[in-house]
């Protein structure tokens, strides 16, 4: 499992944590276990909302979270290996951003029974413009 962690972890950690209180259990999908300590990896504890599952099932769990987030208005807008960036339009204009990062403890063997994690964190600020991009000027007719 290829991990691109440093930039993604920094972005996750720069944002305030998602709910870590009693409401967090409502965000745990079947097959996941709430992991408030985020595996004590990458300094995410208390800064991101994390769930865990056996590494063999983390891809399917990530797909389930993508589908669940889409039912809540979040649209996948980009990403890279093991990271998905989501956007959702605000009623007042602009967009909110959220990212999901898959990771595991690289200091341990990465077998199918190893614990993998999904970390979720908001992206601060308006992640898209309130104004649509201008249309390109058409080329003059010849």
Q: What is the mean pLDDT of the chain?
A: 80
Find, among 92, 76, 72, the residue nearest to 84 by Cα: 76
* pLDDT band for position 26 (cuts 50, 70, 90): confident
The pair of structure tokens assigned to 136 is 């390109």
Are 12 and 44 in contact by the 8 Å Cβ rule? The answer is: yes
- Phi/psi at 86 (nearest 5 deg)? -115, 150
Cα–Cα distance measured from residue 102 to residue 72, given in angstroms and rounded to the nearest whole number: 20
HSE-up (13 A, CA, CB side) for residue 78: 6
Q: Give the Cβ contact number of residue 19 at 10 Å.
A: 12
Q: By percentage, how much of the chain surpasses pLDDT 70?
A: 73
Average pLDDT over residues 96-118: 93
Per-residue pLDDT reduced to its tens digit, 29-75: 999 999 999 999 988 888 899 999 999 999 999 999 999 999 999 99
Cα–Cα distance measured from residue 37 to residue 60, given in angstroms and rounded to the nearest whole number: 22
Q: What is the DSSP letter of 114?
A: S
pLDDT at residue number 16: 39
SS3 47: coil
pTM for this prediction: 0.74
């Amino acid at each position: 499992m290829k991990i691109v962690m440093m930039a993604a972890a920094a972005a996750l950690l720069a944002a305030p944590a998602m709910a870590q209180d009693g409401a967090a259990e409502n965000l745990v999908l079947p097959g996941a276990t709430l992991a408030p300590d985020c595996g004590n990896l990458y300094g995410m504890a208390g800064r991101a909302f994390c769930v865990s599952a056996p590494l063999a099932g983390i891809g399917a769990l990530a797909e389930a979270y993508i589908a669940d987030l889409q039912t809540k208005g979040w649209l996948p807008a980009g990403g890279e290996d093991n990271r998905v960036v989501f956007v959702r339009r605000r009623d007042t204009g602009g967009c909110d951003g959220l990212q999901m990062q898959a990771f595991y403890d690289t200091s341990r063997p990465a077998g199918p029974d190893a614990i993998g994690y999904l970390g979720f964190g908001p992206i601060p600020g308006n992640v898209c413009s309130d104004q649509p991009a201008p249309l390109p000027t058409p080329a003059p007719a010849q």
